[in-house]
Amino acid sequence: MSPRGQTRIDANGRTAASTADAPARSSRRDELLATAGQMFAEQGLRSTTVRDIADAAGILSGSLYHHFDSKESMVDEILRGFLDDLFARYREIAASSKSATETLRGLVIASFESIDAERNAVAIYQDEAKRLSSQERFAYISELNVEFRRLWQSVLQRGVENGEFRADLDVELVYRFMRDTVWVAVRWYRPGGSMSVDSIADQYLSVVLDGILPR
């Protein structure tokens, strides 16, 4: 026990009381991010104010600033979490020893699963990434877009070179087609609907692979 009258401080400089309160603050923070994420996805970032978020969460605007210094901070946290998880999966899939066809399948499934699990974050990314990437704090978006393109194109190119995909395949064109058609699914896919993520991914891949596999 701490001597009477002394406040116990942990290794991070937090008092015992503040450490005990941390789970509650973290939970509330997650709730606020979920509320903001839904509003950003449905209304757009520029059309959503801090007051809108606070009203939806049932708190005063000033109370929101105890957790986030701006709505951009909220967007940043939403996008970083989503993109960090997604690219960790992409890198793991790309680093495997599977064939180009199976690697491509893995990338597509990972993408559809992210739409299923992080629908709001995907919608925000689709709508806001181009504008946000011009800001210094969101520079990582452009960097990850470059990695995304390089990773997917390398899989397609490997498939062409080893004979899995057609020799006359336009890698750039197919990459752009797959990128756009996969991510636009956030506009129509509804979690819990009649088709599972795996079913959608399989049907999508059957269409794509029918066009790029050797005849």
Residues 6+ apart with CB under 8 A from 46: none
184 and 161 in a common domain = yes
Mean pLDDT for all residues in the chain: 86
196 and 98 in a common domain = yes
In a domain, 7, yes or no: no
Amino acid at 210: D
CATH number, residue 56:
1.10.10.60
pLDDT of residue 130: 92
61 and 80 in a common domain = no
Confidence of residue 1 (pLDDT cuts 50, 70, 90): very low
Q: Residues for the chain: how many in total?
A: 215
In a domain, 126, yes or no: yes
Between the alpha carbon of residue 105 and those of residues 13, 144, 146, 183, 209, the distances in Å are 47, 20, 20, 15, 10
Confidence of residue 25 (pLDDT cuts 50, 70, 90): low
111 and 30 in a common domain = no
pLDDT of residue 12: 34
pLDDT of residue 211: 76
Domain hosting 197: range is 70-210
CATH number, residue 204:
1.10.357.10
Helix (H, G, I), strand (E, B) or coil at 150: helix
Number of domain units in the chain? 2
Confidence of residue 173 (pLDDT cuts 50, 70, 90): very high
Judge contact between 53 and 72, C-beta under 8 A: no
In a domain, 21, yes or no: no
102 and 55 in a common domain = no
Percent of residues, the chain, with pLDDT higher than 70? 87
Confidence of residue 23 (pLDDT cuts 50, 70, 90): low
In a domain, 10, yes or no: no
In a domain, 15, yes or no: no
Confidence of residue 16 (pLDDT cuts 50, 70, 90): very low
199 and 111 in a common domain = yes
78 and 64 in a common domain = no
Cα gap 113→41, rounded to integer Å: 18
186 and 109 in a common domain = yes
101 and 190 in a common domain = yes
89 and 107 in a common domain = yes
Other CB atoms within a 10 A radius of the CB of residue 153 amount to 16
83 and 45 in a common domain = no
In a domain, 84, yes or no: yes
pLDDT of residue 165: 93
- Token pair belonging to 208: 């794509």
In a domain, 19, yes or no: no
